[in-house]
Structure 1
Amino acid sequence: MHPDGGRAVFFIVEPNRDQLVALEQKLRDSLLKPVVGAVFSLTEALAAFDPAHRSPGKTVIRVVEP
């Protein structure tokens, strides 16, 4: 089932260890700054998909509370 105007795309990701290690190092060196738009607890995860909660950046669902 797709939302109006939506489409499905099939793709395969083949992880590359060297690229993942380089990405990890950039994160550790603060060279990458992910944009977080909203953070939800696991109990609020359903609300994360509500269009009313859309914001620029990534939506994070926190599985373990600090």
Structure 2
Amino acid sequence: MEDFLTIILGTDAASYTLARNIYDAYGQKPVVCGAAILIPFYNSSIAEIRVAEKFNSDPDVFVSLLNQLYA
């Protein structure tokens, strides 16, 4: 199997479910990006959390954060 990077957009309950499934299935911590850490990811160790203010409202912030992941 090829290596891959899972990027999940958002820190809500649905994102947590997806992150949990990736972690359980592949043993890989997905990268979760959002504007804030919401309750599902508070004190969670199953994902790498990246937070950027205005992530969900400013396209430049969104693109910048995603480009940092790939660099």
> After TM superposition, is the score higher than 0.5?
no
Q: Which has a greater percent of helix?
A: 2
**TM-score, normalised to structure 1's length?**
0.29
Question: Larger Rg: 1 or 2?
Answer: 1
**TM-score, normalised to structure 2's length?**
0.28
